[in-house]
Amino acid sequence: LLALSIAVLTWASPSLLLLCLIAVPFVVAASVRFARRSRETYNNVRDRIAGLLSQLQEGISGVRVIQAYAREPVEIARFDTANRALYGAHMEATQLQAWYLPVIELAGTATTAIVIAAGGYLVVQGVTTLGTRPLHVGSAIATAAYDVIRAHAVAGLAACEGGEVTDDDEVPHAQLDRL
């Protein structure tokens, strides 16, 4: 679909095709940066989860020993430290998402706005006519390219997290108040 749209736009208005492709280098650069940083960030989250669960399992299986030696405060402090480290890792991943996804959104929206404005300008100047519909074709390509890029970004994000993006990882308000 995208290749067909590019072919039609090349035939109808090469100048609008170039305008549609303005955002591609920025999106590619942002995607490469995101891919590099996300791999490390999400591995860190997974490692912190594994450490926290391991520590939790040790604490549960050794609860009688911990109680016998009155080590509850020490174990609570250890768990709290591991829990805060996990929270920090999740926050780092969230900040990465908060940087990347708006870049993708802005690229699609800006490209569509540029194509609409430029197509309208070309029609008003008499360079092209509405009959060739370069404005509509350009807008359709910008929208299609935006949808493909956004779908790729969301799929990559879900793959980096090891599954679907869910709300299960939210920190309860009581924990936020303690921080």
pLDDT band at 118; cut points 50, 70, 90 = confident
- The whole-number average pLDDT for the span 103-132 is 78
pTM for the complete prediction?
0.62
Q: Which residue has the tokens 């609409």?
A: 116
Predicted local confidence at residue 129, as pLDDT: 67
Angstrom CA distances, 161 to 18, 38, 46, 92, 93, stand at 35, 9, 9, 13, 9
Render pLDDT for 52-107 as a digit per residue (tens, 0 to 9): 999 999 989 998 888 888 999 999 999 999 999 999 999 999 999 999 988 888 88
Residue 82 is encoded by which pair of tokens? 């591991």
Predicted local confidence at residue 87, as pLDDT: 96
Cα dihedral sign for 100, 104, 109, 113? Answer: positive
Render pLDDT for 123-170 as a digit per residue (tens, 0 to 9): 788 777 665 555 455 555 556 566 666 656 655 555 555 554 444 444
Q: Which residue has the tokens 């360079």?
A: 127
